[in-house]
Every structure is written in structure tokens, then in C-alpha cells.
């Protein structure tokens, strides 16, 4: 069987970012004709070093999803669109809500309108977030859980997600939404906690400095990035996934367990337990872990890389590459 990805023209928005660049690598290895689009905004996840090993194998376009002309130019002729560009920092969404809105909402409807008009045959996979569920009523959180975003980012991401499902349902523009939980792995942002706190933990442990764990008893789930990109490929190539929303997820661990695992796999390191800073506490959601039964049944997906293995691979990467990320 010929892979549907072989020589398929593919666009990845946010393709120089953490997940986007890992996806670009997987797609390139499977023979897809990959274009990544990324604005390389300083406080976001884009980093040219993320694709340094793909030089000559993919096309890189440094434009912004808010730029409609660029979107139009890049969407034309593509078979798949992995729509990953986003503002991901919850704190930044509160201090600059209009910027978050432009990227996570306004640009999304522009992208969908462009596809509807100029490339209605394209299949879209949109990266959403578990953040939209807010503080869980029950665990694990399935896709039927009430939606209750606790920050501007959650509200805006939810609109982006709903636009995709709406355009699927009303116009037949095939789209699948994945609600990602905490994703980690090589090429994640480690400069600060804007993408995920595990990034700054890894950086500090590699720099032989103590890291901070807030509270520590909260349970969370963590997906290794290769498991996430695998889910994206399954969603892209399945007609059954059209118009569907799927949680990703993994077994829950406490932040203390995660911190201990990180120190253990690294073979050294330490952390301080701290109570929540006030500005984080008011938007914290307590325990969260996702129920991924729906995607497991529909697409056969489940996480394959254990937390220990994933942390080990991530530390291996940053032991050599840390200087390109700080």
C-alpha cells in the first residue's frame, strides 16, 4: 500500500515550533512534500534550529498566519494542512488578550475562509488544548466534559476549534480537532515556562540548578511529542475523523512524581517545593488528566512512549543542543 503521505503537499502552520517541527520531520521521512510556515515571533515556540537537520528537505516560509496574502499563497495546492500556529502562553493571553485573539481566533477564521474559497479539498488537523475544559468536574476528562475556559487563551482556542468543526459541518471542509494535553520532548521551548513548565525544569536540571515545583500533588498527564505527531497523521489520513474532536492523554502522574522521575533519569538534580504565586493560582485548574478512549476506538491511537523513556530522549537531545534554545 502506498502511503497517502508520499509526495503529498503538506503545510504546517507554526511549523518551526516544538510540535510543528517534529511533525515536519516525521512527514519528510515519510516522503511528504513539506512546507512550514512560521512567524518566528520571539516569545513563541519557533526556532530555526528545530529544522536544521531538514535543510533542503522541506520549504520554510517565515510568514505569519495573520497575513492573509501569505496564507492564500501557501494553502493553494496543498493536500493537508496541519494547523498548529498559536499563542500558547496563558499568562500572555491575560496581559495581551487582543494579540492572543488575533492569532488563535481571527487568523483561524481567515485560514478557514481561504481554504473554503481556494482549496476546498484540503484536509485540516487543528491543534487545540485541554485548557478549554477549565477545572475538571470529573476525571479523566472526556470530550463530553463541560467546556469552561479559565483564561483568554482557552476562550480564543475554543473559538478556533469550533470554527474548524463548523466549516467541516456546514461547508464540508474536512477538519479534525485534537485537544492536546501537556506535550514534551526534543525541541520544546526551554527558555521559559511559556509553552510548558517541563521545559524550564529540563533546562535547569541540565544546568545543574534546582527547579521549582508548585504545590506538587496536582495530577497531570504528559504526551511525548512523537505520540502527538502520530495522532496528527492518523487524524489527517482518516475520513472517519472528519468533523470530530479528540482528546489526547496519558496516565496521570503527580508533579512530584514527574520531578522525581526527571531527577532520576538525569542521574542528578534537585527541586524546591513552592506554593502557588497569586497570579497563577487564580487560573489554576487543579488535577487534570484526559480520557483518550474516543481516539483510541476511532483511530487506534494510544501513547506508546513511557514518561521515563520520553524524558530520557528529551534530556539526550538537550544535553547536546541546549545552547540553541536559551
Residues that bind a copy of itself (CB under 8 A): 94, 97-98, 101, 105-106, 109-110, 113, 144, 146-147, 149-152, 155-156, 158-159, 162-163, 166, 169-170, 282-283
Q: How far is the CB of 14 from a copy of itself (least distance, A)?
A: 21
Minimum distance, C-beta of residue 146 to a copy of itself, in the bound complex (Å)? 7
Q: Is residue 266 exposed (0-12), middle (13-18) or buried (19+ Cβ within 10 Å)?
A: middle
Distance in Å, CB of 320 to a copy of itself, minimum: 41
Shorter beta-carbon distance to a copy of itself: residue 31 or 277: 277
Nearer of residues 113 and 287 to a copy of itself, judged by Cβ? 113
> In whole angstroms, how close is the CB of 142 to a copy of itself at the nearest point?
13
List of residues 6+ apart from 11 with CB closer than 8 A: 35, 36, 37, 74, 75, 78, 80, 81, 82
Enter the DSSP assignment of 211.
Answer: E
For residue 65, give the nearest of 120, 4, 7, 127 by alpha carbon: 127
Nearer to a copy of itself, 106 or 266 (CB): 106
Residue with smaller CB distance to a copy of itself, 147 or 326 = 147
Residue 76 or 148: the one with the smaller Cβ distance to a copy of itself is: 148
Alpha helices in 125-188 (DSSP H): 152-171
Peptide linkage before 222 cis (omega within 30 of 0): no
Q: Residue 51 CB, nearest distance to a copy of itself (Å)?
A: 32
Taking residue 252's Cβ as centre, other Cβ atoms within 10 Å add up to 17
Nearer to a copy of itself, 38 or 151 (CB): 151
Chain CA centroid to CA 314, Å:
16
**Torsion angle defined by CA atoms of residues 21, 3, 123 and 58, in that order, rounded to the nearest 10 degrees:** 30
Contact 123, 151 (CB under 8 A): no
At its nearest, how many Å lie between a copy of itself and the CB of residue 25?
34
Amino acid at each position: 500500500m502506498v502511503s497517502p503521505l508520499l509526495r503529498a503537499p503538506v503545510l504546517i502552520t507554526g511549523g518551526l515550533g516544538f510540535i510543528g517541527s517534529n511533525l515536519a520531520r516525521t512527514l519528510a521521512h515519510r516522503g511528504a512534500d513539506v512546507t512550514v510556515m512560521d512567524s518566528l515571533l520571539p516569545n513563541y515556540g519557533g526556532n530555526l534550529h528545530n529544522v536544521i537537520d531538514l535543510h533542503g528537505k522541506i520549504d520554510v516560509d517565515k510568514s505569519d498566519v495573520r497575513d492573509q496574502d501569505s496564507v492564500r499563497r501557501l494553502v493553494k495546492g496543498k493536500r493537508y494542512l496541519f494547523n498548529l500556529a498559536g499563542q500558547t502562553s496563558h499568562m500572555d493571553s491575560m496581559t495581551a488578550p487582543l494579540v492572543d485573539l488575533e492569532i488563535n481566533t481571527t487568523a483561524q477564521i481567515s485560514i478557514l475562509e481561504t481554504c473554503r474559497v481556494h482549496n476546498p479539498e484540503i484536509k485540516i488537523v487543528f491543534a487545540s488544548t485541554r485548557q478549554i475544559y477549565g477545572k475538571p468536574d470529573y476525571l479523566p476528562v472526556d470530550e463530553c466534559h463541560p467546556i469552561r475556559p479559565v483564561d483568554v487563551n482557552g476562550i480564543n482556542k475554543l473559538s478556533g476549534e469550533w470554527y474548524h468543526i463548523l466549516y467541516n459541518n456546514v461547508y464540508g471542509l474536512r477538519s479534525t480537532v485534537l485537544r492536546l494535553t501537556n506535550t514534551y520532548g526534543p525541541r520544546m521551548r526551554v527558555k521559559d515556562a511559556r509553552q510548558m513548565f517541563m521545559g524550564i525544569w529540563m533546562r535547569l536540571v541540565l544546568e545543574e540548578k534546582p527547579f521549582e515545583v508548585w504545590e506538587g500533588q496536582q495530577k497531570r498527564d504528559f504526551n511525548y511529542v512523537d505520540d502527538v505527531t502520530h495522532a496528527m497523521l492518523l487524524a489527517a489520513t482518516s475520513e472517519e475523523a472528519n468533523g470530530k474532536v479528540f482528546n489526547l492523554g496519558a496516565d496521570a502522574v503527580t508533579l512530584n512524581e514527574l520531578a522525581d522521575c526527571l531527577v532520576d533519569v538525569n542521574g542528578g538534580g534537585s527541586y524546591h517545593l513552592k506554593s502557588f504565586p497569586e497570579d497563577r493560582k487564580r487560573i489554576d485548574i487543579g488535577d487534570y488528566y484526559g480520557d483518550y478512549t474516543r481516539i483510541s476506538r476511532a483511530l487506534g491511537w494510544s501513547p506508546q512512549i513511557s514518561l521515563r523513556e520520553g524524558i530520557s530522549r528529551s534530556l539526550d537531545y538537550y544535553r547536546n543542543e541546549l545552547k540553541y534554545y536559551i
